[in-house]
Amino acid sequence: MPHPEWKRRAPMEPGHVFAGRYRVERFIARGGFGAVYAAEQIETEARVALKVLAHDLIESETQLELLKQEARVGTRIGSEHVARVFDVGADPASGRPFLVMELLEGQSFENLLQSTGPFARESLVEYFRQIGYALDKAHGYRDKSGASKPIVHRDLKPDNLFLTYRENGAPLVKILDFGLAKVLGDSSVVSGDLKGTPLFMAVLQLGRQRTLP
């Protein structure tokens, strides 16, 4: 887990230029692994969400490559219900790793549940329908050669489900943070490594390595 000093670090101020190409507009939130800001991509003036991770989370090139996987899996899945990631890397000045994602207006399911309570049955059915579309595409992913390479999120929970809206006002659910995703290659063995939030973890992850039926 990040060093406690990370959580005490003051947010970057509006106007701060990060990684030479993103101008911070405002602080959005801080979580266990980093902070999220609304920012502007300076050259294109596109408004984006800048997710800056704690420095000690990424200590090697191998870990940075794992972070880059988060940027790739959304493109591979190709679903409107998976938050798009546009850029990934490390700030040359500070070494702090970052992700740049689409800037969404709305709230996470976690915040909605805390502020408004349980969802109406009709709404919940629609939300789960959209989540199912995204997961079906992820689990059925095939690479360019046609080989089956299912993508598993491994940390699906209310905090990683985000409710935003289309231009016509219709609800649109986005799945966030495929950073813990695992691309299952030719093997059908699920790693016994515990990755994710225990309360929402799949039963298969609670033991040692197991073979999928």
> Which residue in the list 136, 155, 177, 193 is annotated as catalytic?
155
Please, which residues bridge with residue 211 across strands?
189
Terminal alpha carbon distance of the chain? 33
Q: For 162-173, give the DSSP string.
A: EEEE-TTS-EEE
Examine the residue annotation and report whether 155 is marked as an active-site residue of this protein. yes
Please, which residues bridge with residue 23 across strands?
17, 40
- The C-alpha atoms of residue 12 and residue 36 are separated, in whole angstroms, by 10
Name the strand (E) or helix (H) holding 210: strand 210-211
Residues near 49 by Cβ (< 8 Å), separated by ≥ 6? 28, 36, 37, 38, 39, 100, 101, 102, 103, 104
- The C-alpha atoms of residue 86 and residue 49 are separated, in whole angstroms, by 10
Residues near 61 by Cβ (< 8 Å), separated by ≥ 6? none
**One-letter amino acid of 12:** M
Name the strand (E) or helix (H) holding 17: strand 17-18
179's tokens: 């950073």
**One-letter amino acid of 86:** F
Which residues are catalytically annotated?
A: 155
